[in-house]
């Protein structure tokens, strides 16, 4: 039933072959074809801009006040590309291999290889747009390392790579807006997909300023609405990041792929109290230079600087000598949890480990001293120089850490702990990025496709831009070429009227509950269930309990939520209520998927399935597949399997030792 439409032929020729044979739409016809793009992050902005350049009539929607604010902007560390500028043995194949291995062999070979192929084009495109990547003194682009790989292939702009890439895509998008090829709808939220004759034909959107519902026709709908990490309440996502667009699509027939695959990022600023509204990431790039440790003694309450080197346990370097502090995220997160659970955690909450820059500062200081020819420099002088180097590399991250915690990370080690960061799961898509609904596509984090069960660092930016700049412009033509015969459907069509009516009734229902409990309280409760029972470690009993608790929470929500204000006005509480209602439903599906997948793989760790050393143990005989869930009504799903076939890579137990 699931057809992934992977082209035949050799792996490295599939995409070239596809591009050579897919259908094209001539320029005159492109002007008649309308494409709706939901979300303006890296995937959405790059897709909207590129489709606009090609001549399609594009309508782009974002809930923020400007497309430039989409959460891609917060990505810090960098973007991978198989350029091999460092001459360190990198290649398209290596990037492909690292990504498949990093994903614990739960992604599609053909998709990942295509991603690696176009990665180099992304860097070229961004440089041409004026993205100010970091450079060496010779004027050429600089690279650094990220987790799970042994080459330097990450391009970056200090700790603000996502910002610079998004601004590049945003500027390209605004250029198309100025040219009239894209019409931009900011402060708009998509609340349903309209389906006519089994094809996505438009959306219902709500103007968040006036509260009015709008009908928009499109020959195709692209969901570029990001991930759903906020189902955990606390995550590194922006406050507004939500699953609503993807969830509405799911309920209209798009299957949801691997919903339980969640990435817990190892280096985030720890929770400081019940008031916490979000968590802040400290970029993975810091693990290039920071060393992670805990005291060797349990419940050691001394200050970090009072603990000597012999009394410290650099547990990643100890357990994984080959990759050390640069093991993949899932491995690093579990190792931190293991140490804290065993009583070695630090800080007031004891739910934190140290990320220490002292040795990097000294090392860089000595390099500077050598450069200056001052071998007799004092240790104080060396440290001063070293701090300057570290400031240039990570200054904005250190500033952010100090603002949040009030501690100076140049002097004392950072305290960090894992936090929800990214969701590998998402809408199931085929090779062309089309969901199980014809004409409806999912790009970037919103789809399930390229990262398997664990995403490697600096790969999210790569995938978002690959999908938007270099994949969808080809694959959408293959579909739209046959749509030129179909006239635009009037938004008076009964399918639009019906969809709008359903959206209106749901909003009215939310407003009329007039209960006692705020939306925020429900969101916090959901987050706690998800983190405790479907978080970094999961087991059968906990997941079964979580499903019951979420169903109960859903009942309470629909009986007791209090949404203040009116429908036809700017009402952020109402916006949030709709999103939290969708998160509750998604939470149930995530637990169901996690329960079903009784193996451990990547970020999905089932306690029942681990090796003697506590590493994730896959079960390839039973679970070498994508779980694609079909919505069948309230709390009811059918699971479809897409078997993963590895023709080039031979799956093995991942080893970073």
Partner 1 sequence: MEHYNMNLNLKVWRQKNSNTKGEFKMYRVENISSEMSFLEMFDVLNEKLIADGEEPIAFDHDCREGICGACSMYIDGKPHGPWHANTTCQLHMRAFKDGDTVVVEPWRANTFPVIKDLVVDRTAFDRIIQAGGYISVNTGNAVDGNALPINKDKADASFAAAMCIGCGACVAACKNSSAMLFLSAKVSHLALLPQGEPERHSRVLNMIDQMDKEGFGSCTNTGACEATCPKEISISNIAKLNQEYLCASLTSEK
Please answer whether residues 261 and 103 qualify as being in contact, where contact means their C-beta atoms are separated by less than 8 angstroms.
no
d(CA 260, CA 275): 27
Shorter beta-carbon distance to partner 1: residue 9 or 564: 564
- Which helix or strand (DSSP H or E) is residue 442 part of? strand 440-442
Which CB atom, from 281 or from 590, has the smaller least distance to partner 1? 281
For the residues of 234-252, what is the DSSP string, one character each? SSSS-TT--SHHHHHHHHT
Contacts of 137 by beta carbon, 8 Å cutoff, 6+ apart: none
Tokens of residue 251, six digits:
């309920």
Residue number with CB closer to partner 1 (105 or 470): 470
Nearer to partner 1, 327 or 476 (CB): 476
Beta strands in 124-257 (DSSP E): 154-155, 182-185, 188-196, 199-207, 213-217, 220-223, 256-257
Q: 431 vs 7, 567, 648, CA distance in Å?
A: 8, 40, 18
DSSP 35: E
CB of 405 or CB of 596, closer to partner 1? 405
Terminal CA-to-CA distance of the chain, rounded, Å?
A: 40
DSSP assignment letter at 286: G
Q: Which CB sits closer to partner 1, 84 or 262?
A: 84
Q: Which residues have C-beta within 8 Å of that of residue 572, sequence separation ≥ 6?
A: none
Task: Answer yes or no: are the C-beta atoms of 557 and 580 closer than 8 Å.
Answer: yes
Q: Which is nearer to partner 1, 167 or 377 (CB)?
A: 167
DSSP β-bridge partners for residue 206: 189, 213
Q: Which is nearer to partner 1, 407 or 607 (CB)?
A: 407
Minimal distance, residue 240 CB to partner 1, in Å: 5
Please report how close the Cβ of residue 462 comes to partner 1 at its closest, in angstroms.
14
Minimum distance from residue 80 beta carbon to partner 1 (Å): 13
- Distance of alpha carbon 146 from the chain centroid: 16
- Which is nearer to partner 1, 125 or 627 (by Cβ)? 125
For residue 353, list its beta bridge partners. 416
For the record, the structure tokens of 127 come out as: 């440089």
Confirm if 236 and 457 have CB atoms less than 8 A apart.
no
**Residue number with CB closer to partner 1 (401 or 605):** 401
DSSP H helical ranges for 342-449: 358-371, 379-405
CB 637 → partner 1: shortest distance, Å? Answer: 31
**What is the smallest separation between the CB atom of 633 and partner 1, expressed in angstroms?**
32
- 75 Cα distance to chain centroid: 10
Give the distance, in angstroms, between the CA of residue 400 and the centroid of all CA atoms in the same chain: 21
Q: Where are the beta strands (DSSP E) in 475-598?
A: 517-518, 561-562
Q: How far is the CB of 176 from partner 1 (least distance, A)?
A: 9
Beta carbon of residue 398, minimum distance to partner 1 (angstroms, whole number):
13
How far is residue 614's CA from residue 594's CA, in Å, rounded to a whole number?
19
Minimum distance, C-beta of residue 520 to partner 1, in the bound complex (Å)? 6
């Amino acid at each position: 039933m699931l057809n992934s439409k992977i082209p035949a032929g050799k792996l490295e020729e599939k995409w070239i072959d596809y591009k050579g044979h897919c259908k094209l739409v001539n320029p005159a016809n492109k002007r008649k074809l309308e494409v709706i793009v939901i979300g303006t992050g890296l995937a959405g902005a790059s897709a909207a801009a590129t489709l606009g350049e090609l001549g399609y009539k594009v309508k782009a929607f974002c809930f923020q006040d400007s497309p430039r604010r989409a959460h891609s902007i917060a990505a810090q560390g960098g973007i991978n590309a198989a350029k091999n500028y460092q001459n360190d043995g990198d290649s398209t194949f290596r990037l492909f291999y690292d990504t498949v291995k990093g994903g614990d062999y739960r992604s599609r070979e053909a998709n990942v290889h295509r991603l690696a192929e176009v990665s180099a084009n992304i860097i070229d495109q961004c440089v041409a747009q004026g993205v100010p990547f970091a450079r060496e003194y010779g004027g050429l682009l600089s690279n650094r390392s990220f987790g799970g790989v042994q080459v330097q292939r990450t391009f970056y702009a200090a700790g603000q790579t996502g910002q610079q890439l998004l601004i590049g895509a945003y500027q390209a998008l605004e250029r198309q807006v100025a040219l009239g090829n894209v019409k931009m709808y900011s402060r708009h939220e998509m609340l349903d997909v309209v389906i006519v004759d089994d094809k996505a034909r438009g959306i219902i959107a709500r103007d968040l300023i006036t509260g009015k519902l709008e009908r928009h026709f499109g020959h195709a709908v692209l969901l570029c609405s990001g991930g759903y990490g906020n189902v955990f309440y606390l995550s590194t996502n922006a406050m507004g990041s939500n699953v609503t667009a993807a969830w509405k699509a799911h309920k209209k027939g798009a299957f949801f792929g691997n919903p339980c695959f969640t990435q817990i990022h190892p280096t985030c600023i720890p929770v400081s109290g019940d008031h916490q509204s979000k968590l802040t990431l400290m970029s993975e790039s810091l693990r290039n230079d920071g060393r992670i440790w805990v005291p060797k003694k349990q419940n050691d309450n001394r200050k970090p600087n009072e603990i000597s080197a012999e009394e410290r346990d650099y547990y990643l370097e100890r357990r994984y000598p080959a990759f050390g502090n640069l093991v993949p995220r899932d491995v690093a997160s579990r190792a931190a949890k293991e140490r804290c659970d065993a009583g070695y955690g630090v800080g007031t909450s004891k739910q934190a480990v140290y990320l220490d820059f002292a040795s990097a500062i000294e090392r860089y200081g000595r390099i500077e001293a050598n450069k200056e020819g001052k071998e007799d420099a004092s240790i104080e002088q060396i440290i001063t120089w070293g701090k300057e180097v570290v400031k240039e590399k990570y200054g904005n991250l250190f500033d952010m850490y100090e603002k949040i915690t009030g501690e100076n990370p140049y002097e004392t080690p950072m305290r960090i702990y894992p936090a929800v960061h990214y969701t590998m799961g998402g809408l199931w898509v085929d090779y062309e990025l089309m969901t199980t609904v014809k004409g409806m596509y999912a790009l970037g984090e919103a789809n399930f496709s390229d990262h398997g069960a664990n995403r490697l660092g600096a790969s999210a930016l790569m995938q978002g831009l690959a999908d938007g700049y270099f994949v969808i412009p080809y694959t959408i033509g293959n579909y739209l070429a046959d749509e030129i015969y179909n006239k635009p459907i009037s938004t008076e069509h009964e399918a639009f009227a019906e969809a709008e009516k359903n959206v209106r009734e749901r909003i009215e229902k939310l407003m009329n509950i007039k209960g006692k409990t705020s939306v925020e309280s429900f969101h916090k409760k959901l987050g706690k269930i998800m983190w405790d029972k479907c978080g970094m470690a999961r087991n059968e009993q906990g997941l079964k309990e979580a499903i019951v608790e979420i169903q109960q929470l859903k009942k309470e929500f629909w009986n007791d939520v209090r949404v203040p204000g009116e429908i036809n006005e700017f009402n952020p509480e109402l916006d949030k209520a709709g999103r939290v209602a969708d998160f509750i439903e998604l939470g149930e599906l995530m637990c169901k998927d996690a329960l079903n997948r009784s193996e451990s793989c990547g970020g999905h760790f089932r306690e029942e399935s681990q090796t003697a050393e506590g590493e994730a143990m896959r079960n390839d005989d039973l679970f070498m597949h994508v779980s694609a869930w079909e919505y069948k009504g309230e709390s009811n799903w059918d699971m479809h399997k897409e078997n993963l076939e590895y023709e080039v890579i031979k799956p093995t137990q991942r080893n970073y030792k």
